[in-house]
């Protein structure tokens, strides 16, 4: 906790590594509605950044822009310092950005190891494309072991796993492909305490390994405090608060947000007068 933090200015981010992803002055409007009014955001290498905000704050629009579903109107995206354009989801993927929407990506009827290798199956006998099940099982088990994901068996069908296990597999698969930046959309939604622990640990381990940098989008502040190194708050299409988690508390963050809202209202009132 920073002693006597003045809420007027956001805490400058502690340089934890080179920026993996930078968002500079990104704007987006839908007709008359300005959804993003100049987003500035930095995701550092190996960092878990939480993105929080009310409905309509522009979170999901920002995520759609980052994952290539939509193009921004103005501003710039940089991946590892390089200016990039994402005309499609594939383009974002090619730059190592992957989005995991809860566990929706898994095939319920396929075993864990086949889910992990879906789209990149190992095969034998050339054109026959016989599955190399043994090798895939082995590699899947080793890989899951490496990142500390526990499932009953790599042969268990995805639908037999718990919500947390499925989420973990979805994240593991996203990271397996050459992913550098992972966007997680409410990864802890509808999960019990033990389940949450599974994902929290996985996300923290992945970030700590330096393998990926992660943005977590969530409504739930408690979840974000669990998961993240840093939290950015979105209000009215801007990032209004940028706080290191270890320097703040839920109470302080809430207080900062209330003050920020108040300033916004006052600004609007004076602009109207």
Question: Please, what is the minimum distance in Å from the beta carbon of residue 75 to another protein?
Answer: 27
Nearer to another protein, 105 or 184 (CB): 105
CA distance 44 to 197: 24
Cβ contact 217:185 at 8 Å = yes
Nearer to another protein, 130 or 258 (CB): 130
Question: Please, what is the minimum distance in Å from the beta carbon of residue 23 to another protein?
Answer: 24
Nearer to another protein, 165 or 179 (CB): 165
Cβ contact 209:17 at 8 Å = no
Cβ contact 99:63 at 8 Å = yes
Nearest C-alpha neighbor of 89 from the set 171, 183, 158? 183
Question: Please, what is the minimum distance in Å from the beta carbon of residue 253 to another protein?
Answer: 34
Pick the binder of another protein from 14, 18, 91, 107 (CB under 8 A): 107
Q: Which stretch binds another protein (CB under 8 A): 3-11, 12-20, 128-136, 241-249?
A: 128-136
Nearer to another protein, 160 or 204 (CB): 160
Pick the binder of another protein from 88, 148, 153, 209 (CB under 8 A): 153
Structure tokens at 156: 């268990």
Pick the binder of another protein from 54, 135, 155, 247 (CB under 8 A): 155
Q: By CB under 8 A, tell whether 156 contacts another protein.
A: yes
Question: Please, what is the minimum distance in Å from the beta carbon of residue 150 to another protein?
Answer: 6
Pick the binder of another protein from 5, 34, 78, 110 (CB under 8 A): 110
Q: Which stretch binds another protein (CB under 8 A): 39-47, 65-73, 144-152, 224-232?
A: 144-152
Question: Please, what is the minimum distance in Å from the beta carbon of residue 141 to another protein?
Answer: 8
Q: What is the 3-state secondary structure (H, E, C) of the chain?
A: CCCCCCCCCCCCCCCCCCEEEEEEEEEEEECCEEEEEEEEEEEECCCEEEEEECCCCCHHHHHHHHCCCCCCCEEEEEECCEEECCCCHHHHHHCCEEEEECCCCCCCCCEHHHHHHCCCCCEECHHHCEECHHHHHHHHHHHHHHCCCCCCCCCCEHHHCCHHHHHHHHHHHHHHCCCCEEEEECCCCCCCHHHHHHHHHHHHHHHHCCCCEEEEECCCHHHHHHHCCEEEEEECCEEEEEEEHHHCCHHHHHHHHHHHHHHHHHHHHHHHC
Sign of the four-CA dihedral 95, 100, 105, 108: positive
Question: Please, what is the minimum distance in Å from the beta carbon of residue 51 to another protein?
Answer: 22
Question: Please, what is the minimum distance in Å from the beta carbon of residue 222 to another protein?
Answer: 23
Q: By CB under 8 A, tell whether 109 contacts another protein.
A: yes
Question: Please, what is the minimum distance in Å from the beta carbon of residue 104 to another protein?
Answer: 6
Pick the binder of another protein from 151, 169, 188, 224 (CB under 8 A): 151
Pick the binder of another protein from 30, 56, 129, 267 (CB under 8 A): 129
Kindly list the residues in this chain that would bind another protein in the complex (CB under 8 A).
104-110, 114, 118-121, 123, 128-131, 133, 150-157, 159-162, 165
């Amino acid at each position: 906790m920073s002693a006597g933090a003045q809420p007027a200015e956001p805490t400058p981010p502690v340089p934890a590594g080179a920026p993996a992803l930078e968002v500079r002055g990104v704007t987006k409007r839908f007709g008359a509605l300005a959804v993003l009014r100049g987003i500035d955001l930095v995701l550092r290498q190996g960092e878990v950044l939480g993105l929080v905000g009310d409905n309509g704050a522009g979170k999901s629009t920002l995520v759609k822009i980052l994952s290539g579903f939509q193009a921004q109107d103005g501003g710039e995206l940089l991946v590892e310092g390089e200016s990039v354009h994402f005309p499609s989801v594939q383009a974002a993927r090619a730059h190592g950005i992957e989005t995991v929407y809860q566990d929706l990506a898994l095939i319920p009827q396929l075993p864990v190891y086949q889910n992990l290798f879906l789209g990149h199956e190992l095969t034998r006998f050339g054109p026959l494309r016989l599955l190399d099940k043994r090798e895939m099982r082995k590699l899947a088990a080793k890989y899951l072991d490496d990142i500390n994901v526990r499932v009953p068996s790599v042969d268990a069908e995805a639908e037999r796993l718990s919500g947390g296990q499925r989420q973990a597999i979805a994240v593991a698969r996203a990271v397996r492909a050459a992913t550098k930046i992972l966007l997680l959309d409410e990864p802890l939604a509808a999960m019990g305490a033990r389940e949450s622990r599974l994902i929290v640990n996985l996300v923290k381990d992945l970030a700590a390994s330096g393998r990926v940098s992660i943005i977590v989008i969530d409504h739930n502040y408690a979840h974000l405090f669990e998961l993240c190194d840093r939290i950015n708050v979105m209000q009215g299409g801007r990032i209004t608060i940028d706080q290191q988690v270890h320097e703040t508390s839920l109470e302080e963050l809430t207080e900062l947000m209330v003050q920020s809202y108040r300033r916004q209202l006052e600004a609007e009132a004076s602009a109207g007068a």
